[in-house]
Amino acid sequence: MKDPFGREITNLRVALTQRCNLDCFYCHREGECEASNTGLNTKEVKKIVEAASGLGMYKIKYSGGEPLLHPGIKEIIEFSSEHMDDVSLTTNGVFLYDEAESLREAGLDRVNVSFDTVNPETYREITGKRRLKEVKDGIKKAVETGLFPVKVNMLLMDGLNDDEVWNMIEWVSEIDAILQVIELTGNEEEIDNKFYQEHHVPLKGLASELERKAVRTEKRRMHGRKKYILEEPDVEVELVRTMHNSTFCDNCTRLRVTSNGELKPCLLRRDNHVDVEEEVEKDEGIKDKFIEAIERREPYWCERDERGR
């Protein structure tokens, strides 16, 4: 199914819970405005998966909070693998060492791990915890287990980890993972606040450096992201640049489900969500709500609009 701008909706991202065992100061809670202990139960998730699959979506990614805190995560993944071609999740990696093998057996295809630094003190400053070694071991175990690809998501922040990119590239290359360097993003309201002013780092300079060092570059259809293939060290680095990026929005194929049962057409917007919780409870009308949410989709960043963005 396509949205009004002709973008095929193939991906569903589901926030299973807002619970998390870390306390990352930059967490945006998948676009949910208020912190809470909300979460979807296993039965609700299965209904959502069935509805999405019935509308032609074939990729699903689970997030949180921390999705591995959900008591039904393996059952959810197993069910999803029966209805979707691609099942993945984004995790902070703390539990990954113990769970990677059973997750793979349940049907998980790939994993993204939010991991911003290889420096123990910087990790503690960002997350509020001392779990760096556990996460590093978990990422390695995910690679060894056969989850592919294993992507390390590094959110770049000025004054915190912006001087660590090449250390991270070296480490990721050693364990045969892929590095995604992510630009700090936000909606128009958020990018005006003190936090974004202090920590936002444009990725243009890094892109130029990678361009010079790469043996070749590729472009993913998803968001038009550029991938840099290096030989020294042997690694793939992908840049996720969303700010004022019309290409990013033009190629978006994703719809989101929040942990409190809302369909969210765009991560950065707060005015066009569709509440599906009641329909999920009644087990009827779910597809209609999905269609309504898809019809509300529009690019957040575009070449020009009435606000001059």
User: In CATH, what number is assigned to the domain containing residue 94?
Assistant: 3.20.20.70
Asked whether residue 309 is assigned to any structural domain, the reply reads no
Range of the structural domain that residue 148 is part of: 11-295
Stated length of the chain: 309
Domain total of the chain: 1
Tokens of 55: 């509308």
Asked whether residue 36 is assigned to any structural domain, the reply reads yes
Asked whether residue 304 is assigned to any structural domain, the reply reads no
Q: 134 CB contacts (<8 Å, ≥6 apart)? A: 93, 94, 97
Asked whether residue 78 is assigned to any structural domain, the reply reads yes
Q: List the chain pLDDT tens, one digit each, 309 residues.
A: 999 999 999 999 999 999 999 999 998 777 675 666 789 999 999 999 999 999 999 999 999 999 999 999 999 999 999 999 999 999 999 999 999 999 999 999 999 999 999 999 999 999 999 999 999 999 999 999 999 999 999 999 999 999 999 999 999 999 999 999 999 986 666 666 788 889 999 999 999 999 999 999 998 876 668 899 999 999 999 999 876 566 778 888 999 999 999 999 998 888 889 999 889 888 789 999 999 999 999 988 775 444 444
| Strand partners for 227 | 218, 238
Q: 119 CB contacts (<8 Å, ≥6 apart)? A: 161, 164, 167
Asked whether residue 265 is assigned to any structural domain, the reply reads yes
Model-level pTM?
Answer: 0.93
Label residues 26-37 b or e (16+ Cβ within 10 Å = b): ebebbbbeeeee
d(CA 71, CA 266): 28
